[in-house]
Amino acid sequence: MSSTPGMALDHEPAETIPRNFAVGSKVLASAVAIFFMSFVFAFFYLRALNTAHSFREPHVNPPVGWGIAILACVLVSCAALEAGRRALANGPSTSWRVLGLVSWLVALAAVALQATEYYNLHFGATDGGLASVFFVFTMWFAVFWLGSVYWVETLWAQSLRRPSTADAEIGDTARLLRPGADAALTYMYMMGATGIVAFVLLYIVK
């Protein structure tokens, strides 16, 4: 978009921005949910097939403690951002910045814990059906969860930005924070629900 004097700037009506965020985040969340359904199907299909009784090898026991820690980080990150979103009712505040930072750091910790869990596992992806589903499911969950990490970080950084005075930029970025946080939470809640399903299937179901 050009900022040359005398040229008209095409500004989108402000009232359409929250709607765009809402629709876009729901489409994204739905697409990602469908993607993860393939791993749920794989789990039940391989478990039912259980070729040569190799679905769950005797030594394949995903450590529940790691699963709880990772899921807890995901859910705490969602809760912190939800609390921060409510603090945005009157614009960016210290509460929002603190809660946004907490949400970001805890979300990042979930990815770090997942990587550490891989390092401490005593089985590999080729050790039966459960092991294969475990690695693929958790790996892609971590990848998609990194999207949440990036999204929260950009929202938090945006709240630190000073209002712009340039005609070619959005002068009041604060008005985008609330719909942006709403959209991020739609995606993160879906990821949280997916994390609960993954935890039950991979760590609890025998």
What is the residue type of 173?
A: T
Buried residues in 121-132 as b, exposed as e (16+ CB within 10 A): bebeeebbbbbb
Q: What is the pLDDT of residue 6?
A: 42
Q: What is the per-residue burial (b if ≥16 Cβ within 10 Å, else e) of 94-112?
A: eebeebbbbbbbbbbbbbe
Q: In terms of Cα–Cα distance, which of 148, 157, 169, 177 is closest to 88?
A: 177
CA 11 to chain centre: 30
Full pLDDT tens readout for the chain, 206 residues: 444 444 444 466 666 777 888 899 999 999 999 999 999 999 999 999 988 888 888 889 999 999 999 999 999 999 999 999 888 876 667 888 899 999 999 999 999 999 999 999 999 999 999 999 999 999 999 999 999 999 999 998 888 765 544 444 444 556 778 888 999 999 999 999 999 999 999 999 98
Tokens of 156: 């938090």
At residue 91, the pLDDT reads: 67
- In the chain, beta strands by DSSP E: none
| Cβ atoms 168, 58 nearer than 8 A | no
Please state the domain extents for the chain: 61-163+171-204
61-163+171-204 CATH fold:
Four Helix Bundle (Hemerythrin (Met), subunit A) (1.20.120)
Q: For residue 2, what pLDDT is reported? A: 41
**pTM of the complete model:** 0.85
Q: Which residue has the tokens 């999207």?
A: 147
